């Protein structure tokens, strides 16, 4: 699994003119799932996301986690995080998991993040043509990959 975490002041997802999820301060999380991903990857990643200390403290240092600021998460599925671009100019997405594998893991990530945070997770629509609006705070953007845990 691969995620791009953006610290945001606000973020929202719109599909066909309707807002499917919106948050104020917190994380916009773009989640890519590949065929090799497991529930263990998901659990590790959920803990890493929620424990990430990238919010400013009273001294302006990045020492606070999501819970410390009572922040929210907008979780968006994004298979394009597994684009392979070495050959030619048209990306290949062969490493991205097909929907029959990706959807259950995406839904489990929502459940796991809700369990860890004790809050409802805002989402997009898996496979939908989503329009994402955000105000990146900082900007702060972090990339995590479960294949690089060590």
Residue 124 pLDDT: 96
Question: For residue 150, is pLDDT > 80?
Answer: no
Domain that holds residue 38: 2-147
39-61 mean pLDDT = 96
pLDDT surpassing 90 at residue 146: yes
53: domain CATH number? 3.50.80.10
Q: Per-residue pLDDT tens for 86-108?
A: 888 999 998 899 999 999 999 99
Let me know: does 23 contact 72? Beta carbons within 8 Å: yes
Domain tally for the chain?
1
> Does residue 93 contact residue 80 with C-beta atoms inside 8 Å?
yes
Note whether 34 and 79 are within 8 A (CB): no
Active site residues: 80
Backbone angles phi, psi at 91, to 5 degrees: -65, 150
CA–CA gap between residue 22 and residue 107 (Å, rounded) = 18
């Amino acid at each position: 699994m691969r995620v791009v975490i953006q610290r945001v002041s606000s973020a929202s997802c719109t599909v066909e003119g309707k807002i499917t999820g919106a948050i104020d301060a917190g994380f916009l999380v773009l989640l890519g799932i590949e065929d090799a991903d497991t529930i263990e990857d998901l659990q590790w990643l959920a803990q890493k996301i929620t424990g990430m200390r990238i919010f400013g403290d009273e001294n302006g240092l990045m020492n606070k986690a999501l819970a410390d600021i009572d922040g929210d998460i907008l979780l968006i599925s994004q298979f394009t995080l597994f684009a392979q671009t070495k050959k030619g100019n048209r990306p290949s997405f062969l490493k991205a998991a097909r929907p029959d594998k990706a959807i259950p893991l995406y839904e489990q990530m929502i459940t796991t993040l809700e369990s860890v945070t004790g809050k409802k997770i805002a989402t997009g629509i898996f496979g939908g043509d989503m329009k994402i609006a955000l105000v990146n705070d900082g900007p702060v953007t972090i990339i995590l990959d479960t294949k690089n845990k060590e």
